[in-house]
Amino acid sequence: MMAKKVGGIRASRTNHGAADSPLAGMSAPPEGAAPPEGAEPFRVPEGATAIEIKREFSTLKVVPKADEAGDRNFPPHLHAAVELFCFAKRPDCARRCAERVNAYLEILRAGPDGKGTNGMGQAAVCWECGHVGLPRNRERCAEGADAQCGGCGGDAQTNMVKVAQPDGTVVPWIEEAPPPPKKE
């Protein structure tokens, strides 16, 4: 397994298909090395912290829309989505995506308790803000409508996320209930 730090985000990646990669055989420059001639040095945003992107992120598949099917640049899973946010210099989106996925994976590990979770269904990833979770319009999504982000509310750049076990069984996205509104 390789680990790399991009934009203050640590992404671990397995070497599956590494020989097919255009980067095969290349190694990262040593920590603190000067950037190659003509390259702009990367500046880590103030307050950035490292987040580990676990292997399980690659099991959470991003479902392409009809016009995205077959696009070689389309991120096939949420591990690639976090990397894309990093490479696009959007560390806040990468961090939000990773935090949401890590929270979901923790619910699965602990087992849903039936009390602290109330949202189940198919998740969506938002390319505008990095939110991953249940769409605001999840009932309409089942009818084919574009997902409305559960974070920012946008629907222009969202894709559904499919979580399936190796045998093909679909696993629902489960998220904790938002806190109730405060009474004044």
* CA 54 to mean position of chain CA atoms: 11
The amino acid occupying position 147 is A
39 domain-assigned: no
pLDDT single digits (tens) 28-39? 556 667 767 777
46 within a domain of the structure (yes/no): no
pLDDT at position 6: 47
Query: Does position 130 have pLDDT exceeding 80, yes or no?
Result: yes
Please count the structural domains in the chain.
1
pLDDT digit string, tens, across residues 152-165: 999 989 999 999 88
Question: What residue numbers bound the domain in which 94 lies?
Answer: 56-176
Asked whether residue 92 is assigned to any structural domain, the reply reads yes
**What confidence category does residue 43 fall into, taking pLDDT thresholds of 50, 70 and 90?**
low
- Region 87-102: mean pLDDT is 93
Residue 100 inside a domain? The answer is yes
- Domain assignment present for residue 48? The answer is no
Residue 124 located in a structural domain: yes
Report the alpha-carbon distance of residue 123 to residue 132 in Å, rounded. Answer: 6
Q: Is residue 19 part of a domain?
A: no
Using alpha carbons only, how large is the chain's radius of gyration in Å? 18
- What percent of the chain has pLDDT above 90? 42
pTM of the model: 0.70
Q: What is the pLDDT of residue 182?
A: 65
Among the residue ranges 25-34, 47-56, 85-94, the one predicted with the least confidence is 25-34
Tokens of 177: 């209930």
| pLDDT for the residue 176 | 82
Cα–Cα distance, 63 to 77 (Å, whole number): 8
What are the DSSP calls for 108-139, one per residue?
HHH---SSSEEEEE--EEETTT--EE--TTHH
